[in-house]
């Protein structure tokens, strides 16, 4: 942590070189910082809060001990040290208020759009309005996963290409107002570890950008055993996942269509799903908040399909014979599983949450709704998470394979190194050895429909995939993660980090710098939480000076993970001068315009931060946080971090009021 003195520029703002690496400090500084944290001796630990922020705290009945706040000027690096950098900005163009209204109402028809309730917010029950019931959730805005509200990103039609482009330089068209600049950063309890909620996502997304690059893609690969003749595979089809965070049902369909085009429509064997790249990552979906049907509680998986969630749409029937009922549509459907096509309506009840109203239960062979649907819901869409990612993948793959007009004589099985919680396991720890080399032991079971298939297990698997389907680029994945606060996507990215490494390749040009390339790691073939968090910890110690944060999964959906305001401020300051900063900052929501910070304009309609703050938010019960960048009216850029934890129990913690406190922080900063 940084121990700056008053009236002296913060070391965070001065710790960058032209190579975007901070100057390393001596080890004893970290020891001193740790001691000062334990003893509460940091000279700038507690400072005078901006008057509007303190007033908002009083209004919300939140103690000043419950908030950590850091507001820090940040400048673009320059090779000419004599050149003034105070007015040079790397932030995107400021969105004018009239443009903000238009952009905030726009949506996207992207087929791969995220379900709104994949967000991680677990809201306090004391919030006064239904529009904020799920914390940061804003369903209309969350239906768009590719629209760039600042006008600097590609549209959803180009979603399969790199979708984040360099933003224009800010301030080119705005009138710079004369306003006093801060003489030194505003700090309040910045060294105190706090629960960050989803602002934690700022860490793994930036580390991934630095280690993997914005153009990095995951590949879902398809192999087969046996042989193919007349569009028929006499063997098993093997689909191997690599951790794609956004393998939606639409994208899975495209993958299966490529299998068809490769000449396979009928399988005289099994479809084998391989998710062995991630080990030991399956979680109890009810463990965090006893709400296992929430998509934000989904477990990661290296073959994660559609976030393990089903979109359910209820449409009231108008014909006389079926009045009082609603037609139910599902995306995706599940093979060999009953799902009711209609549902009775009731004139009583409020449609605050159709999922809560219906009380759905995933039984062994059928989805059951234990309650009727309130008529006030009308046409209503909601999302239900399936409790088992592997079983969900089996049912979806089979359904989509058959829906394409294909056939399957066998079953869907999971291949893995004991890393499965349901279904059949095919053990590959000791593969059978033959004249043909190593191959999978596809031992025949009673489920085979033909004695002929017993010989297929004796044939070697194809050494190379015949279909290799790329994911959306990392730049787009990070946009979705930070804009819509998707937990399971964050964990997929985090778990990917140990599996790849950077190598330096010689350039063909004699005087050119070496080319950095990302390749698969030879040392790490499987990933787990321990390895992935160790990778982040190592990156932190190599690039930053504060003590590393305490992380458990990378998403922030945790009670035992902590960061300090200094942690996030140093990361954001470091990122500001990074080559991939444009991708990073454009992944954040724009205050009052897009993402989970859209409702900033509703809570504070006259805010100066509307259209000029790029923010990641976080919300849990007793936790509200915001972190990101603000473009001041003077032309100065600022890093802002605000974390409120409801530690003082004298008053009940009101998430909505706490959010207003941090909205005030953004407004005050934008006026500087």
Overall size of the chain counted in residues: 672
The answer on pLDDT for 92 being more than 90 is: yes
Strands (E) across 514-593 are located at 515-520, 589-590
The answer on pLDDT for 72 being more than 90 is: yes
Which residues fall within 8 angstroms of residue 218, CB to CB, at 6 or more apart?
242, 243, 244, 245, 470, 471, 496
CA 404 to chain centre: 31
Predicted local confidence at residue 372, as pLDDT: 86
φ, ψ of residue 4 to 5 degrees: the values are -80, 155
Question: Rounded distance, CA 104 to CA 19, Å?
Answer: 37
φ, ψ of residue 26 to 5 degrees: the values are -70, 150
Convert 108-119 to b/e letters by CB count within 10 Å (16 or more is b). Answer: bebebbbbbbbb
Which residues fall within 8 angstroms of residue 321, CB to CB, at 6 or more apart?
none
Among 383, 330, 328, which Cα is nearest to 353's?
383
Among 582, 569, 668, which Cα is nearest to 89's?
582
At 344-375, the pLDDT tens digits run: 988 877 776 656 668 899 999 999 998 888 88
At 632-650, the pLDDT tens digits run: 999 999 999 999 998 766 6
Q: What's the burial of 212, exposed, middle or buried (CB within 10 Å: 0-12/13-18/19+)?
A: buried
In the chain, the percentage of residues whose pLDDT exceeds 90 is 55
Compute the chain's Rg from CA coordinates. 26
Q: What is the mean pLDDT of the chain?
A: 78
Which residues fall within 8 angstroms of residue 585, CB to CB, at 6 or more apart?
90, 91, 92, 167, 575, 614, 628, 629
Q: What's the burial of 379, exposed, middle or buried (CB within 10 Å: 0-12/13-18/19+)?
A: exposed
Which range, of 227-236, 283-292, 385-394, averages the lowest pLDDT? Answer: 283-292
**Contact between residue 621 and residue 644 where contact means Cβ atoms under 8 Å apart:** no
Among 143, 163, 97, which Cα is nearest to 600's?
97
Question: Rounded distance, CA 389 to CA 421, Å?
Answer: 9
Convert 441-470 to b/e letters by CB count within 10 Å (16 or more is b). Answer: ebeeeeebeeeebeebbebbbbeebbbebe
Predicted local confidence at residue 123, as pLDDT: 42
pTM exceeds 0.75, yes or no: yes
Predicted confidence band at 102 (pLDDT cuts at 50, 70, 90)? low
Cis peptide, bond prior to residue 550, ω within 30 of zero: no
Predicted local confidence at residue 494, as pLDDT: 98
Question: Rounded distance, CA 120 to CA 616, Å?
Answer: 12
């Amino acid at each position: 942590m940084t121990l700056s003195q008053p009236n002296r520029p913060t070391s965070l703002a001065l710790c960058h070189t032209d190579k975007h690496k901070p100057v390393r400090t001596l080890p004893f500084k970290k020891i001193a910082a740790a001691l000062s944290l334990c003893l509460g001796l940091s000279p700038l630990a507690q400072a005078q809060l901006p008057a509007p922020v303190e007033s908002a705290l009083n209004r919300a009945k939140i103690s000043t001990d419950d908030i950590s706040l850091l507001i820090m000027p940040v400048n673009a690096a320059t090779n000419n040290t004599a050149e003034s950098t105070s007015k040079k900005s790397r932030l995107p163009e400021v969105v004018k208020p009239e443009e903000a209204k238009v952009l905030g109402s726009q949506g996207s028809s992207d087929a791969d759009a995220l379900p709104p309730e994949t967000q991680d917010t677990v809201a306090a029950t004391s919030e006064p309005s239904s529009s904020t019931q799920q914390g940061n959730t804003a369903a209309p805005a969350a239906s768009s996963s590719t629209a760039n509200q600042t006008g600097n990103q590609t549209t959803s039609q180009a979603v399969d290409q790199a979708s984040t482009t360099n933003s224009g330089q800010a301030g080119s068209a705005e009138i710079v107002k004369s306003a006093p600049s801060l003489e030194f950063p505003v700090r309040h309890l910045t060294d105190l570890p706090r629960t960050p909620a989803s602002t934690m996502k700022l860490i793994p997304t930036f580390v991934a950008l630095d280690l993997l690059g914005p153009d990095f893609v995951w590949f879902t690969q398809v192999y087969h055993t046996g042989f193919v003749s007349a569009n028929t595979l006499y063997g098993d089809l093997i689909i191997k996942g690599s951790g794609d965070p956004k393998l939606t049902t639409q994208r899975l369909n495209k993958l299966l269509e490529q299998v068809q085009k490769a000449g396979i429509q009928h399988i005289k064997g099994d479809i084998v799903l391989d998710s062995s790249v991630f080990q030991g990552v399956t979680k109890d979906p009810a463990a965090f908040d006893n709400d296992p049907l929430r998509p934000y509680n989904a477990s990661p998986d290296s073959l994660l399909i559609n976030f393990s969630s089903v979109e359910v749409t209820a449409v009231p029937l108008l014909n006389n014979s079926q009045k009082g009922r609603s037609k139910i549509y599902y995306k995706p459907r599940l093979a060999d599983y009953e799902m009711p096509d209609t549902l009775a309506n009731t004139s009583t009840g409020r449609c605050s949450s159709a999922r809560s109203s219906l009380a759905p239960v995933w039984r062994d062979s059928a989805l059951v709704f234990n309650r009727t649907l309130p008529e006030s819901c009308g046409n209503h869409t909601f999302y239900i998470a399936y409790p088992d990612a592997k079983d969900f993948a089996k049912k979806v793959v089979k359904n989509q394979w058959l829906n394409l007009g294909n056939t399957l004589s066998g079953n869907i099985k999971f291949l893995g190194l004991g890393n499965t919680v349901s279904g059949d396991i095919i053990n590959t720890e000791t593969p059978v050895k033959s004249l043909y080399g190593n191959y999978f032991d596809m031992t025949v079971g009673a489920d085979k429909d033909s004695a002929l298939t017993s010989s297929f297990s004796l044939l070697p698997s194809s050494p190379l995939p015949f279909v290799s389907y790329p994911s959306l680029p990392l730049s787009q994945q990070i946009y979705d993660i930070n804009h819509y606060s998707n937990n399971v996507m964050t964990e997929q990215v985090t778990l990917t980090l140990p599996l790849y490494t950077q190598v330096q390749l010689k350039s063909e040009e004699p005087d050119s710098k070496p080319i950095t390339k990302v390749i698969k790691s030879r040392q790490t073939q499987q990933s787990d939480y321990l390895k992935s968090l160790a990778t982040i910890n190592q990156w932190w110690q190599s690039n930053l000076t504060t003590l590393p944060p305490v992380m458990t999964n990378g998403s922030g959906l945790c009670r035992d993970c902590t960061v300090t305001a200094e942690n996030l401020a140093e990361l954001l300051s470091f990122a500001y001068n990074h080559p991939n900063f444009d991708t990073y900052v454009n992944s954040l929501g724009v205050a009052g315009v897009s993402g989970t910070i859209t409702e900033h304009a509703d809570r504070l309609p006259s805010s100066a931060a509307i259209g000029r703050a790029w923010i990641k938010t976080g919300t849990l019960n007793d936790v509200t946080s915001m972190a990101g960048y603000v473009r001041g009216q003077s032309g100065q850029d600022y890093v802002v971090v605000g974390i409120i934890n409801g530690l003082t129990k004298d008053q009940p913690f009101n998430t909505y009021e706490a959010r207003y406190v941090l909205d005030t922080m953004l407004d005050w900063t934008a006026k500087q």
